[in-house]
Each structure stands twice: as C-alpha cells, then as structure tokens.
Amino acid sequence: MGEVLSASFPFHLKQNTMNEMLQGRKSQIVTKGQDDVAIACGKASIAGSVSQRACVFCGSRVVLYPIADALHLIHGPVGCAAYTWDIRGSLSSGPQLHRLSFTTDLKEREVVFGGETKLYNALVSLIDNYKPKAAFVYATCIVGVIGDDMEAVCRRVTREKGIDVIPLMSEGFNGTKKDGYKIACAALSKLIGTDQTTEVPEHSINILGDFNLAGELWMLAEYYRRMGVNMVACMTGDGRIDDIRKAHKAQLNVVQCSGAMTYLAKDMKDKYGIPFMKVSYFGIEDMSDALYEVARFFKSDEMMQKARELVREELSKLLPALQKYRAQLEGKKAAIYVGGAFKAISLVKALRLLGMKTVVVGSQTGNQDDYNLLKELCDEGTIIVDDSNPNELSEFVKQTGANLFIGGVKERPIAFKLGLGFCDHNHERKEALAGYEGMLNFAKEVHASVCSPVWKFMRSPSPALPGGEGEKKPHPQPFFGGEGS
C-alpha cells in the first residue's frame, strides 16, 4: 500500500499519486504539540479513502443484536446476514435466540418482482416457530433500491401475531454506522414506556451501551449490587424485551458507549425526565469514577462508603498483580484505533498505568469534545486521527515505531501485515476487558502480545525518514530451531 499524505504534514510522510485524492483528510489528522487547530470530525468519509467505518445496517444490527429474546430478521441478500452473524461476543443468561441469524435471502426474482411476500412469510413462520417477545426487521441496501414497503408488512404482522414487529430502515448506503445507532435507538424508544404497571425499587438505574461482551455486564451489575444499586434494564447486553418496556421507571441512565447510546439517553430525558451520565468501565480510573458518580447522584453516604470499600478491596488485589507486567512494558509504544472515542480515552489511561505511551490514537465516531480530551491526555507528538483508513494507519504505525496495535477486526490485518503485536478490543472479543478483573486481563493480553518471544526472530521495518524512504531490510528466514536451521 502506498503512502497517502504529503511531506508538509508534521509526520513527514512521502507524497505520491494518492495525495491529490485525499487532500480532504488533512483537517482530520493532528499531531499534539505541532498543530494548534481543532481536529475536524463528524464528516462524511472522503471518497476513495477506504474508511474503516461500517454501514448504517451494521450500526443498527450491532446495537440491537444482544437483545436475547427478540427475533432479528435481515431483509436482504444472505451476505448481509453472514457478515453480521454472531458479530458481538454478547452472552445471554437465558434465551439464545439472538445468536441465530435469519434472512429473507433476496435474489434476482425478488429484485424484479419485490420481496414483500417473502418477508411476510418469513416473519409469520419464524414467529410461530420461535415465539419471540418482539421482532426487529432490518432493511439492507437492496431493499432501498427495489422499494419494498417493509413498514406495511411489519404493521400487518404486528396486528396478526400480537407482538411488536419493528422495522429498521437501515439501508447501508444512507450514511455510516453512527446513523445506524440512531435508527436502533429509535427502535428501542418505541418499546420503552409500554409497561406502565411494573414497579421498580429505589436506587434503580439503566445501563446503556454495554453489550455484555464476555460477560462484562454481569461483573458491572455485581459491583452496583454491592453498592445497593438496582439495575432495571441493560440496553442492550443480555437484554430482555420486558425489561426494556419498563426502562422508563429507572431514576438514572448510565451511558457506557456514548457514541451508540447518547441518542437514546437524550430521548429518555426529554420524554421521561430521566437524567443521564456518561461513564467508561475500562481501566482502573474510569471504572472507579463510574461507581463514585452513581453514588454521588443518589446522594447516599452509605452508598458512597460501600463504593469506596469496593474500590479499595479490588485495587488491593489488582495493583500488585499489575506490577510484574508494568516492569516489562515500561516505555513501549501503542497505537489505538477503535470505533468509539470513549473507549480510546480509557485505553490511553489504562496503557499509561502499564507504563506504555500512546503514539497514535483515533476513532470512527468521535466528536469534538472527545478529541479535545484525547489531546489533553496524550503526550507531545501523538498523532490523533478521525475516520482513518488502512493506508494512513499503516504509515502512522511505522512512523511512530509502535510496538502494539489495539483495534478491532478491520485493524487486525494491518497489524499482522506489519508484523506487529495486536490486542483485540472489538465487540467480537471473548475476553472480558471491563472492570477491575478486565484490567488484569487487558494487562495480560498486552504483555503476551508485546513481549512474545516471536519478535526476536523478525525485524521491524524502519520508519520513513523526512524526505526519503526508510532503510529497507530483508525479512529474516523462518527459525525452526536446531543446529543448521
């Protein structure tokens, strides 16, 4: 892959033919200590940049997918269903319906004559067979092209079957993953407030934007339970339709994934007067603050005392365990590129606790406040980027000499191609990284990746130098051990 930015940039990457096509990216990349301008964000991706962002359909699907007792039907070609099947490592304490991927499998015949009949028959059959509490139907690009009246079909099935069948007009070409979040939040809003009879105990909260990856929600719920805080609903990890219906009874919304769920939190504040706070459960500092802030909201001295005791107990076990990892990670460099900027902020703090320096950090959906905070947190010379692409990320990593890349499924190949340690912080991971236990898991994974003995058998490519190419070194021959190998 060729380099994509001009030599006039602070990190001095060599100019080539792609430069003219990607001039519009300049405002979305800043280097702390060298650029005083605010980073541009919230923009549509530049044509030709091969953005790491996902589509509208993917955004809506990943938010709603963890609702375990709902039917999720994709109205479109089978490829859309295959791509999003089981894409979150979201665990359920009960039903497993969410782990099945259903599709109408539209083909040429439906493209010509329409797919409404196929959609109706699929919904009726699936509802009869699986008895879901509700159904979500996702429109894909082809549905937007052929013009199926998906909403009319969903209204008909709702009348006939007596359950909520909610259409999501999530055609992929209508925007980005962030627009899919809004559509998913609007679907949840239709369910919230439909249970007016169930009462909830005092000191009750909803957790918004935790998806119970590797069982993280269960750890968080236990922390809050030890403080005397009750959870009404989690949207959407280990989610249940009946819990979502009564979510308007909670006294506070605690928003973990602000990129995905702030829309819903604001909607619930407008409709039901429920205040919300943004938190992060990644890293010691942010995890502790998330507990303290909830205790402060309820103005309970007893709750605050329990929170302090909980944090003290957890840190007394965690901090000594982290020391052996920090001793070997001190001074190492990391690059971060994730979906939500809230996660990037927490990762910078967590890496610092391990003695590591963040040299590249970016996100797909960050806003101006997120990037301002990142700029405050990061060291001089850190490259901060919004809506990046594989070419840029590859060059940034080489230029800064990073030892580790933290990202998701689309960043993994970049790290592998560069011969770089990789830490998966995506929604499909199987290792809990939230909470105090998650911080220890994170340290173990980072240490195993950065300090693996495999790195002594290969040479990293030299970073590009100002005004010229870096030194090119041949890849070493594979080492299999034994004399003469």
* pTM, entire model: 0.85
Q: Kindly list the strands in the beta sheet with 164-168, ordered across the sheet, starting from the edge strand earlier in the chain.
A: 102-103, 70-75, 134-139, 164-168
The token pair at 143 is 């549905």
pLDDT in tens, the chain (485 residues): 333 443 334 444 434 433 433 677 888 899 998 888 888 887 777 666 667 677 899 889 989 999 999 999 999 999 888 867 776 778 999 999 998 889 999 999 999 999 999 999 999 999 999 999 999 999 999 999 999 999 999 999 999 999 999 999 999 888 888 899 999 999 999 999 999 999 999 999 999 999 999 999 999 999 999 999 999 999 999 999 999 999 999 999 999 877 789 999 999 999 999 999 999 999 999 999 999 999 999 999 999 999 999 999 999 999 999 999 999 999 999 999 988 888 899 999 999 999 999 999 998 888 888 888 999 999 999 999 998 888 889 999 999 999 999 998 888 889 988 888 999 887 778 889 999 999 999 999 999 999 999 888 876 554 444 444 444 444 433 333 333 33
Same domain for 343 and 420: yes
Domain-embedded: residue 472: no
Same domain for 142 and 174: yes
Q: How many domains does the chain have?
A: 3
Per DSSP, 422 falls in state: E
From 288, 312, 336, give the residue that closes a domain. 312
Please tell me whether residue 139 adopts helix, strand or coil conformation: strand
Domain-embedded: residue 465: no
From 165, 190, 215, give the residue that closes a domain. 190
Q: What is the dihedral of CA 105, 87, 403, 49, to 10 degrees?
A: 40
Same domain for 168 and 247: no
Same domain for 26 and 66: no
Segment holding 164, helix H or strand E: strand 164-168
Same domain for 223 and 298: yes
Find all residues with CB under 8 Å of 355, minimum gap 6, and list them: 326, 329, 330, 331, 332
Alpha helices by DSSP H, 401-462: 412-418, 435-450
Segment holding 338, helix H or strand E: strand 333-338
Please tell me whether residue 235 adopts helix, strand or coil conformation: strand
Domain-embedded: residue 473: no
Could you give the CA distance from residue 43 to residue 26 in angstroms, rounded to a whole number?
12
Could you give the CA distance from residue 399 to residue 146 in angstroms, rounded to a whole number?
47
**Sign for the pseudo-dihedral over CA of 377, 383, 386, 390:** negative
Could you give the CA distance from residue 185 to residue 63 in angstroms, rounded to a whole number?
8
Same domain for 332 and 380: yes
Same domain for 344 and 430: yes
- Quick one: 254 exposed, middle or buried, by C-beta within 10 A (0-12, 13-18, 19+)? buried
Domain-embedded: residue 420: yes
CATH number at residue 269: 3.40.50.1980
Domain-embedded: residue 7: no
Please tell me whether residue 458 adopts helix, strand or coil conformation: coil
Same domain for 117 and 169: yes
Overall residue count recorded for the chain in this entry:
485
Same domain for 180 and 124: yes
CB 384 within 8 A of CB 449: no
Could you give the CA distance from residue 180 to residue 344 in angstroms, rounded to a whole number?
21
Residue 151 to residues 45, 78, 112, 117, 264: CA-CA distances in angstroms?
A: 29, 21, 20, 13, 22
Domain-embedded: residue 65: yes
Same domain for 301 and 253: yes
The parent domain of residue 287 ranges over: 204-312
Could you give the CA distance from residue 269 to residue 460 in angstroms, rounded to a whole number?
51
Same domain for 26 and 60: no
Domain-embedded: residue 470: no
Terminal CA-CA length for the chain: 32
Same domain for 264 and 213: yes
From 190, 221, 256, give the residue that closes a domain. 190
Domain-embedded: residue 476: no
